[in-house]
Copies of this chain bind each other. A is one copy, B any other.
Amino acid sequence: MNFDYTEEQQMVRDSIARFVQDDYDWDTRRAIVDSDEGMSRENWQTFAELGWLSIPFSEADGGFGGNIVDMSVVMEEMGKGLVVEPFFPTVVLFGGVVARAGDEAQRAEILESVIGGETLGAFAYVERQSRFAINDCKTTATANGDGYTLNGEKVVVFNGENADKLVVLARTSGGQFDEDGLSLFLVDANAEGVSKVCYPMMDAQRVANITFDNVQLGAGALLGSEGGALPVVNDVVSEALIALASEAVGIMGTLNAKTLEYTKTREQFGVAIGSFQALQHRMVDSMMAYEQAKSLLFKALCEYKIDPASAEATIHALKVLIDRNGKLIYGEAIQMHGGMGITDELDIGHYAKRLMMINATLGDGTFHRSKFIESTYAAA
């Protein structure tokens, strides 16, 4: 039983932390967010050179062959630095689907350029009406002689603005809510019939609503088996939920540390506000909320490493706790920063907003609490 990171993991952690410290100060980040693309291509090349983009991919695919803990380390540090470059959509979601569903040729084509930082990707799975139910899919891919015709719309596609390649979840058979009949397709973002409207989100992500109007796809665009997408997607989602929780833990720790620091220096009524016992006890609550979230992340990591299927209930629970404790922590962080906490200038609100979007991604606390109950009490 140990909860230590390996030396290698520690090195990755240090390397990201150093990057954030040296090259990602708040003003730099703000300039990147305000730039045309809302991300830095230069940083992305740095990520590639430092090997971060290769971490989850197998050595056979040219990757680092990292496990879920390696991924977690990267995401936690990204969270601490509030890094906006699209690691999550490109590596975790898009890369995750390709690595799992792609055949050797597809993997070779795509993953090498993802790892090299040449290709930015996005996974298009949300629809207007779908909320968090991934099986709720109206986008269709109809088989034609040599391939498929894709029609439909995906919304709030993370990194949709900058992605070169998309993985699109589409229905090859079945009705709107059927779990069978979903398939995955690799689509060039510039293919004919693909159009998009882009908009920024409060957490500085650049997203897009993407419309597919009779987009012609070759047979080679199909990732994995026709109609068998959902299990693959569910695997990617499980890993993505752990990744998001890791990022959230990074953010929660940072919010607590910044707030604690603030209460030690900010004076009111002639004393540091951190000397007020009522606030002290609440900061203890925030600290406990963080430690508990971290512990549950560790549980998910340990279980997932042994057998991903065994971690299902824990992953639902993790999303519930990240949601609940995240709300507590960012709420207290804003409240304790007082007037400063409600300005756009201070970083606190931005950490809060990212945490909120994490909560809303791939199912919020209410959604996963229902899933937890279903998976835990259904048979009892």
Measuring CB to CB, which residues of chain A are less than 8 angstroms from any residue of chain B?
276-278, 280-281
A347 to B175 Cα, complex, angstroms = 64
Q: Which residue in chain B gives the minimum CB-CB distance to A284?
A: B278
A276 to B281 Cα, complex, angstroms = 11
Residue numbers in B under 8 Å from A276 (CB-CB): 277
Residue numbers in B under 8 Å from A280 (CB-CB): 278
Residue numbers in B under 8 Å from A281 (CB-CB): 278
A interface secondary structure, majority: helix
A341 to B51 Cα, complex, angstroms = 60
A54 to B276 Cα, complex, angstroms = 54
A278 to B278 Cα, complex, angstroms = 4
A114 to B280 Cα, complex, angstroms = 57
Q: Which residue in chain B gives the minimum CB-CB distance to A280?
A: B278
Residue numbers in B under 8 Å from A277 (CB-CB): 276-278
What is the CB-to-nearest-CB distance from A205 to chain B, in angstroms, rounded to a whole number? 34
Residue numbers in B under 8 Å from A278 (CB-CB): 277-278, 280-281
Query: Can you list 6 contacts pairing A with B, beta carbon distance less than 8 Å?
Result: A276-B277, A277-B277, A277-B278, A278-B278, A278-B280, A278-B281
Query: A276, A278, A280 — which one has the most chain B CB atoms within 10 A of its CB?
Result: A278
What is the CB-to-nearest-CB distance from A373 to chain B, in angstroms, rounded to a whole number? 15
A278 to B284 Cα, complex, angstroms = 12
A280 to B277 Cα, complex, angstroms = 10
What is the CB-to-nearest-CB distance from A264 to chain B, in angstroms, rounded to a whole number? 17
A361 to B280 Cα, complex, angstroms = 39
What is the CB-to-nearest-CB distance from A352 to chain B, in angstroms, rounded to a whole number? 23
What is the CB-to-nearest-CB distance from A272 to chain B, in angstroms, rounded to a whole number? 14
Query: A276, A277, A280 — which one has the most chain B CB atoms within 10 A of its CB?
Result: A277
What is the CB-to-nearest-CB distance from A320 to chain B, in angstroms, rounded to a whole number? 19
What is the CB-to-nearest-CB distance from A176 to chain B, in angstroms, rounded to a whole number? 24
What is the CB-to-nearest-CB distance from A116 to chain B, in angstroms, rounded to a whole number? 54
